[in-house]
């Protein structure tokens, strides 16, 4: 039988589902790990022997010495690339020639625009991601290949309109040196690995509900985050992908502004935030928290053609005294199970209450490879509603705190 050769890991919520832990956990079984969207707005946190490592731009597989790729659909900040690359001597990294280069101008513009938006600010990570994707659409951005051929950055019309006057010639020279050794034709390399029987792990950044088209626009990121974007962002056809693994927390979180039907406040929210350590790994901001939203989960599962679900941070829900899951929305007095209803109306979630999950010795359960009965009930409830198997449950940050079902 053919091994599982190309797999995508994608977030099914608003990011921070815990993809990093799983990419890291799975990476040892793959030949290469690939990023295909976003840029250094990602914050993939991995715990290794008690040491916390956060990746913003590199694929998480660096820890296993795997081949790493950054596809043409990613926006690359050369300075951040250099900083992360320096952590891994002998790094085997390929960055696509067509990838967009992100300069200090976009970082400046991201902050400037957020300021100008005032109350309507998106709450971006401030890494220049939106302006960089916009610059690409304006056909002003440099690609990695442009940097290599010595083309000077020229944001003429945009920079003029915003009053940016830094000369980036010196910066570009420095940036060229940082990316030169990694630049190549990533889609060709991926296909070569695939054709030789090698295995590829694609790691999506952010989450499906932050997708620029399918997410809660305008409170989204500026790239496509859903699995089919792999065809564009990595140049690897989605039809050749063997499996899509969707990652969801057992509850819901979001950083930044935007709709969040199941959001909680008060003590309960604070309790979950503290226990789940729900603070942004890129920005340090406290994350908004709420109950698991199955209306949005069904939507994401379908958009990604999800084959299995990885459920994370289940342990955080233990000992809370209550457990709820949203199964429907009520929009302007009408019940609906359509997520898109939130684009035109105000969604009030309808909940199903489940048996609370008691505080248990999660490490013990993880060792034995099982879950307490109340937690199993939640898993089965999700599977029944969403019609996709939960393959794996995470009950703690460390690699070992994982239960395969």
Residues that bind ligand IMP in the complex, under the rule CB under 6 A:
14-16, 41-43, 122-125, 127, 129-130, 205-206, 210, 219, 221-222, 255-256
Pair of tokens at residue 332: 């302007």
Residue with smaller CB distance to Mg ion, 55 or 182: 55
Residues 227, 21: Cα–Cα separation, whole Å: 18
Residues 268-297 that bind Mg ion (CB under 5 A): 281
Residue 62 binds which entry of Mg ion, ligand IMP, none, CB below 5-8 Å type-dependent: none
Residue 208 binds which entry of Mg ion, ligand IMP, none, CB below 5-8 Å type-dependent: none
> Which distant-in-sequence residues (6+ apart) come within 8 Å of 371 by Cβ?
314, 365, 379, 393, 395, 403, 405
Residue with smaller CB distance to ligand IMP, 187 or 256: 256
Residue 255 binds which entry of Mg ion, ligand IMP, none, CB below 5-8 Å type-dependent: ligand IMP
Residue with smaller CB distance to Mg ion, 146 or 211: 211
Check binding of 16 to Mg ion (CB under 5 A): yes
Q: Which of the ranges 40-48, 94-102, 194-202, 255-263 carries the binding residues for Mg ion, by CB under 5 A?
A: 40-48
User: Has 194 been annotated as catalytic?
Assistant: no
CB of 287 to ligand IMP, least distance (A): 8
Residue 125 binds which entry of ligand IMP, Mg ion, none, CB below 5-8 Å type-dependent: ligand IMP
The dihedrals phi and psi of 350, each to the nearest 5 degrees, come to -105, 135
Instruction: Please tell me which residue in 24, 31, 44, 167 is annotated as part of the active site.
Output: 44
Other Cβ atoms less than 10 A from the Cβ of 126: the count is: 13
Contact indicator for 332, 345 with CB cutoff of 8 Å: yes
Using only C-alpha atoms, the chain has a radius of gyration, in whole angstroms, of 21
Check binding of 59 to Mg ion (CB under 5 A): no
CB of 128 to ligand IMP, least distance (A): 8
Instruction: Please tell me which residue in 16, 146, 211, 315 is annotated as part of the active site.
Output: 16
Check binding of 43 to Mg ion (CB under 5 A): yes
Rounded to whole angstroms, what are the CA distances from 283 to 78, 127, 218, 341?
19, 10, 20, 30
Residue 221 binds which entry of Mg ion, ligand IMP, none, CB below 5-8 Å type-dependent: ligand IMP
CB of 127 to ligand IMP, least distance (A): 5
CB of 245 to ligand IMP, least distance (A): 17
Residues 225, 168: Cα–Cα separation, whole Å: 30
Residue with smaller CB distance to ligand IMP, 27 or 57: 57
Other Cβ atoms less than 10 A from the Cβ of 17: the count is: 27
Check binding of 39 to Mg ion (CB under 5 A): no
Rounded to the nearest 10 degrees, what angle do helices 78-85 and 169-180 cross at? 40
Residue with smaller CB distance to Mg ion, 43 or 256: 43
Residues 256, 112: Cα–Cα separation, whole Å: 17
- Bridge partners (DSSP) of residue 180 are none
Residue with smaller CB distance to Mg ion, 40 or 141: 40
Residue with the two structure tokens 């513009």:
109
Contact indicator for 169, 152 with CB cutoff of 8 Å: yes
- Bridge partners (DSSP) of residue 288 are 254
Residues in the chain: 405
Residue 5 binds which entry of ligand IMP, Mg ion, none, CB below 5-8 Å type-dependent: none
Check binding of 18 to Mg ion (CB under 5 A): no
Residues 293, 354: Cα–Cα separation, whole Å: 14
Residues 158, 138: Cα–Cα separation, whole Å: 9
User: Has 154 been annotated as catalytic?
Assistant: no
Which residues contribute to the site for Mg ion (CB under 5 A)?
A: 16, 43, 281
Active site residues: 16, 44
């Amino acid at each position: 039988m053919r091994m599982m050769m190309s797999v995508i890991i994608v977030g099914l919520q608003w990011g921070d589902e815990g993809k990093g832990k799983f990419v890291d956990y799975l990476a040892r079984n793959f030949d290469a790990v690939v990023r295909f969207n976003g840029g250094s707005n990602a914050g993939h946190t991995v715990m290794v022997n008690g040491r916390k490592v956060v990746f913003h731009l590199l694929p998480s597989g660096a820890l296993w010495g795997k081949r790493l790729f950054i596809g043409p659909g990613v926006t690359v900040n050369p300075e951040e690339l250099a900083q992360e690359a320096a952590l891994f001597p002998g790094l085997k990294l390929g960055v696509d020639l067509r990838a967009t280069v992100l300069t200090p101008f976009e970082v400046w513009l991201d902050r400037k625009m957020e300021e100008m938006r005032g109350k309507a600010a998106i709450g971006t990570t401030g890494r220049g991601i939106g302006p960089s994707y916009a610059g690409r659409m304006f056909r002003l951005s440099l690609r990695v290949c442009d940097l290599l051929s010595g083309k000077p950055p020229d944001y003429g019309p945009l920079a003029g309109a915003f009053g940016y006057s830094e000369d980036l010639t010196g910066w570009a020279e420095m940036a060229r040196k940082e990316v030169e050794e990694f630049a190549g034709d990533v889609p060709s390399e991926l296909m070569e690995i695939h054709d030789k029987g090698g295995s590829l792990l694609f790691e999506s950044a952010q989450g499906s509900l932050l997708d620029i088209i399918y997410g809660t626009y305008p409170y989204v990121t500026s790239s496509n985050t859903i699995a089919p974007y792999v065809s564009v962002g990595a140049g690897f056809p989605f039809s050749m992908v063997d499996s899509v693994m969707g990652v969801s927390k057992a509850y819901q979180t979001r950083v930044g502004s935007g709709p969040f039907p199941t959001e909680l406040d008060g003590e309960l929210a604070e309790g979950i935030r503290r226990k789940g350590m729900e603070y942004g790994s890129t920005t340090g901001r406290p994350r908004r928290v709420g109950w698991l939203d199955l209306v949005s989960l069904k939507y994401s599962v379908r958009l990604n053609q999800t084959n299995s679900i990885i459920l994370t941070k289940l342990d955080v829900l233990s000992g809370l005294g209550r457990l709820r899951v949203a199964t429907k929305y009520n929009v302007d007095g009408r019940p609906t199970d359509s997520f898109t209803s939130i684009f035109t109306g105000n969604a009030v979630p309808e909940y199903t209450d489940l048996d609370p999950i008691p505080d248990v010795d999660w490490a013990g359960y993880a060792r034995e490879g099982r879950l307490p009965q109340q937690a199993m009930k939640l898993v089965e409830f999700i599977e029944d509603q969403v019609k996709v198997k939960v393959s794996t449950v995470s009950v703690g940050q460390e690699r070992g705190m994982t239960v395969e079902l």
